[in-house]
Chain A
Amino acid sequence: MVRRSHIVRANRFVWCAVLGLALNLAVGPAIADVVAVVSAKSVVTTLTKAQLTDIFLGKVNRFPNGAQAVPIDQPEGSAARDEFYAKFAGKSASQIKAFWSKIIFTGRGQPPKEVADSLEMKKRINENPSAIGYIEENMVDDSVKVVLQQL
């Protein structure tokens, strides 16, 4: 009896894994995990979700250690950007746009500068130890350091 239930459980696990993989393949690169990265030369090692969100929403302009933080965005409408804000800030593209509109149209600030894609993001981060951005997990290499990823 004990053995049988183990088999059932194992079976279920396999099915879940197969289903999960199938879903992953079906949606393709859009679901590739996005991670927050800084330059490999940066002293920053890890950030909480709230710290990361505050930097990208312009509420703070420093890392917790006091060093200057310069956030960089992927282009509006890109899958990486939408996933980054959905995952770490819990907000949709239109919520983020509405948030920044409140700041822009009261003359209080500007959203982060944008780069064309993850390759340019890595280049810019590598050039500037203060920069922080986000790229697909499979784009991570020695030039950057992951400071937060989805659990």
Chain B
Amino acid sequence: MHRQITPSRPFRTLRAISTLLLTALWHPAAAGTDAGNAAASMFSFSGFGTLGVVHSSENQADFSANIFQANGAGYSRQWSPDVDSRIGAQVIATVSPKLSGVLQIVSEQNFDGTYWPRVEWANIQYQFTPDFGVRLGRSILPGFLFSDTRLVGYTYPWVRPPVELYCLNPVDTNDGIDISYRLQAGDLVDMIQGNYGYSKTKLPNNDGTVRAKNSWGFTNTAEYGPLTLLLSFEASHLSATAIDPLFDAFRQFGPQGIAIANQYDDDNKLVAIEDVGASYDSGHWLVVGEWSHANTHSFLGDQTAWYASSGYRLGKFMPYLTYADVSAIGNSSPGLNLMGLSPGAAAYGAGLNAGLNSVLETIADQKTVSAGARWDFAKNVDLKLQVDHTRLGVGSSGTSINVQPGFIPGGTVNLFSAAIDFVW
């Protein structure tokens, strides 16, 4: 009971912000005419979107860039528009140079397969000085180089940020507070940002909800001319109770079963994610590299990921190459020791061991080589084509979702993706 009451107050605040900004979003003309020029210039409207299609060579599992989507390319559809397609609309209300608010609404495939829009950003920002600001409400954590604009395809060269690294953070929304401070020394601009809050995200296939409580972290972004360096740390207490019945069954086996259940269940477990990212953008050459480690202390895994990517701009074309790798520690378990158990209990225990290992198999372990190109063919619109060749780790189904019984872990998967990104 207590747990449900606490989030309701910030939620109400969020709803109040949303209603206020939504009114402005749906009546931009009214804001302009009724309240005169002051109100018209107070609101600024913008939007973004991607129309994408993905084909996968695998037909016993779906490729998806996001575990919170219902399906993707492969098993569910040979050519899937659901992986990358989305549309977002945003309004920023600038009340004064110090006080502003943002509301961003995004429609993309949800956990239930619908495209019902959700609130991605909704916060009020107060700048005490031009370099020191506080935001209250919903924001997206900036822990990775491209995490807070990962939905805006126009802002990066690839069809999508490498899934090997970007799948590490199970929760990237923060309902709470974030504080940022910007420092300058000559040509060096450094921004340090701290956050505290909670979040709640629904999973597909009635797998329940992922809740993150007491989330806190910091991100430091240093920019020096064409160089950017990011360092971040995020910690939270995560609960994902979808497979709790499996762990309850393990607990019936006494101390050894309880130990396994406690090791792998996800009830208020500490998740810690560290990230180091760097990019160099000279105008012609773009070189990006990022490394991250995430330990969930649960069946969601202990993984390390990195990628390196480089592109070269030839006028409106930018061909690029990327190598990405995610490796998992402990994506299999010996499970219960069945020695000395009655035949019935041993058979039941063997079933549980198999069940646990099929869950651990879903911890991503894979390597991908990607080649693609971005073409800025018209104002504020780009076209991207990309091919990915992925080799799955031994016993892993990689980042795939909707894995079918006929799926053979540890193979290779080829993807072809095409996307048109736009901003306005």
- The distance from the CB of A9 to the nearest CB of chain B, in whole angstroms, is 33
A76-B379 in contact (CB<8A): yes
Quick one: given A50-B187, A107-B92, A107-B121, are A102 and B104 in contact (CB under 8 Å)? no
CA distance A28 to B273 in the complex (A): 55
A106-B140 in contact (CB<8A): yes
- The distance from the CB of A1 to the nearest CB of chain B, in whole angstroms, is 44
B123-A105 in contact (CB<8A): no
Of all chain A residues, the one with the shortest Cβ separation from B123 is: A107
B155-A59 in contact (CB<8A): no
A59-B189 in contact (CB<8A): yes
| Residues of A with C-beta under 8 A to B44 | 110
Stretch from A17-25, A31-39, A88-96, A125-133 that touches the partner:
A88-96
Asked if B114 is at the interface (CB within 8 A of a chain A CB), the reply is no
- The distance from the CB of A60 to the nearest CB of chain B, in whole angstroms, is 6
A97-B92 in contact (CB<8A): no
B130-A110 in contact (CB<8A): no
A59-B282 in contact (CB<8A): no
- The distance from the CB of A111 to the nearest CB of chain B, in whole angstroms, is 10
Of all chain A residues, the one with the shortest Cβ separation from B379 is: A77
Q: Which of A61, A94, A102, A105 contacts B46 (CB 8 A)?
A: A105
Question: How many chain A residues have a CB neighbour from B under 8 Å?
Answer: 22
| Residues of A with C-beta under 8 A to B379 | 76-77, 93-94
Stretch from B77-85, B146-154, B294-302, B397-405 that touches the partner:
B146-154
Asked if B65 is at the interface (CB within 8 A of a chain A CB), the reply is no
Q: Which of A76, A97, A105 contacts B104 (CB 8 A)?
A: A105
| Residues of B with C-beta under 8 A to A101 | 48, 149, 152, 154-155, 423
Q: Which of B48, B140, B156, B225 contacts A50 (CB 8 A)?
A: B225
Q: Is the interface of B mostly helix, strand, loop or mixed?
A: strand
Quick one: given A54-B189, A90-B283, A94-B316, are A105 and B155 in contact (CB under 8 Å)? yes
Q: Which of A50, A77, A92, A105 contacts B149 (CB 8 A)?
A: A105
| Residues of A with C-beta under 8 A to B46 | 104-105
Asked if B376 is at the interface (CB within 8 A of a chain A CB), the reply is yes
Asked if A98 is at the interface (CB within 8 A of a chain B CB), the reply is yes
A106-B187 in contact (CB<8A): no
- The distance from the CB of A12 to the nearest CB of chain B, in whole angstroms, is 30
Q: Could you say which of A50, A95, A107 has the most chain B C-beta atoms within 10 Å of its C-beta?
A: A107
| Residues of A with C-beta under 8 A to B90 | 104-105, 107
Q: Which of B149, B189, B313 contacts A102 (CB 8 A)?
A: B149
Q: Which of A59, A94, A104 contacts B376 (CB 8 A)?
A: A94
Quick one: given A59-B223, A60-B184, A107-B123, are A102 and B92 in contact (CB under 8 Å)? no
Quick one: given A77-B379, A91-B283, A94-B376, are A107 and B102 in contact (CB under 8 Å)? yes
Q: Given A77-B379, A94-B316, list of 4 further CB < 8 A pairs? A: A94-B380, A104-B46, A105-B149, A106-B142
What are the 5 closest A-B residue pairs judged by CB atoms, nearest first?
A107-B102, A90-B283, A94-B376, A102-B155, A106-B148
